[in-house]
Amino acid sequence: MKRAPPRPDIAAMARRAPKPVWINLEYLSGEDWVADFHMRPSPHPRYPLDKSFFFPGLGKGTGGVLKERDLDARRARFDAAAWWKERVGIERPGAGATVVSLFAYENPAVDALLAQWRDGAAPVVLLVPEGRISGALARFFDVPKFTAGVTARAGALEAHALGFVEQPRFDELLWAADINFVRGEDSFVRAQWARKPFIWHIYPQADDAHLPKLDAALAHYTSTLDPSARDAVSRFWHAWNGTGVPDWADFWRHRPALDARAARWADELAGIGDLAGNLVAHVAARRAG
Rounded to whole angstroms, the Cα distance separating 225 from 231 reads 9
Q: How far apart are CA 75 and CA 129, in angstroms?
A: 20
- Go through the chain and tell me how many residues it has: 289
For the chain, helix, strand, coil in percent to 5 are 45, 15, 40
Question: pTM of the predicted model, to two decimals?
Answer: 0.93
* Cβ count within 10 A of residue 287: 11
Which conformational region is residue 94 in: left (phi greater than 0), alpha (psi within -120 to 50 degrees), or beta?
beta
Q: What is the pLDDT of residue 167?
A: 84
Query: What pLDDT does residue 1 have?
Result: 46
Predicted confidence pLDDT, tens digits, the chain (289 residues): 455 566 888 888 888 888 889 999 999 999 999 999 998 988 888 888 888 999 999 999 999 999 999 999 999 999 999 999 999 999 999 999 999 999 999 999 999 999 999 999 999 999 999 999 999 999 999 999 999 999 999 999 999 999 988 888 999 999 999 999 999 999 999 999 999 999 999 998 888 788 999 999 999 999 999 999 999 999 999 999 999 999 999 999 999 999 999 999 999 999 999 999 999 999 999 888 7
Residue 8, amino acid? P
CA distances from 242 to 108, 201, 237 (A): 8, 10, 9
Residue type (1 letter), 42: S
CB 93, CB 99: distance < 8 Å:
yes
Sheet holding 50-54, edge to edge: 22-25, 50-54, 41-43
Helix (H, G, I), strand (E, B) or coil at 50: strand
Question: What span, in angstroms and rounded, lies between the C-alpha atoms of 76 and 193?
Answer: 12
Which CATH architecture best describes the domain 71-271?
3-Layer(aba) Sandwich (3.40)
In the chain, where the domains are located: 8-64+273-288, 71-271
